[in-house]
Amino acid sequence: MGADSLYWDGLSRDEILGRLRERMAAFAASRYRRDVAEDLAQEVFVVLEEKYRHVESLDELLKLCFEIMRMKLMGLRHKESRRGETTQKDVTELPLADPGESQEVLIDRQRRLQRLETALARMGERCRNIFRWKLEGKGFPEIQKLLSVESINTVYTWESRCRKELMTAMESLEKGGGK
């Protein structure tokens, strides 16, 4: 028998199994989370009772307990790894999603829109009409007909000049050149 056979002498099988269960729980707790250790120890003894009831030798019982516990721990780690439980993050530690744009972005957009409206109001009627038709989705041939111009190149030139004029007006307003 083993070195601590004196510890086990005179005990019934149930008492021996009870002490083994305590040792298994302590062993599992030393290698894994304490909240799971008791469950693992219980599972070890379910296996002992179902498959190894015939084993009487204390040394064999002890070896079996530790081997079954080792297998249970490996299985548990493998299952948690497979499920991704080992890489999960606590949801309370994750940053909250931004529900929308910041106030700064909204105010900036509103200011740009005001500058655009002011700049467009200062432009000539032809440029305002060209921009309106472009925003309505009309192409250059349609705008050519609306403006009653013979050459489409004239429409390209006017549109380009209007764009440059708008950009200049926007930059001027941005720099504080009046509203």
Give me the domains of the chain, ranges plus CATH numbers: 5-83 (no CATH), 103-174 (1.10.10)
CB-CB neighbours of 28 under 10 Å: 24
pLDDT of 145 reads 93
Number of other residues whose CB lies within 10 A of the CB of residue 148: 6
Alpha-carbon dihedral 125, 108, 111, 160, rounded to 10 degrees:
-20
Whether 41 contacts 24, CB under 8 Å: yes
pLDDT of amino acid 157: 95
pTM of the model: 0.43
Cβ–Cβ < 8 Å for 127, 116: no
Q: What is the predicted pLDDT for the residue at 118? A: 92
The pLDDT assigned to 7 comes to: 52
Distance CA 64, CA 58 (A): 10
**What does the pLDDT read at residue 160?**
94
Lookup: tokens for 114: 């005001």
pLDDT value for 3:
44
State residue 123's pLDDT score.
Answer: 92
User: Could you report the average pLDDT of every consecutive run of 10 residues in the chain (179 residues)?
Assistant: 52 76 83 82 85 82 86 87 77 77 88 91 92 92 93 94 93 74
* H or E, element range at 63: helix 58-83
User: Which residue type, as a one-letter code, is found at position 14?
Assistant: D
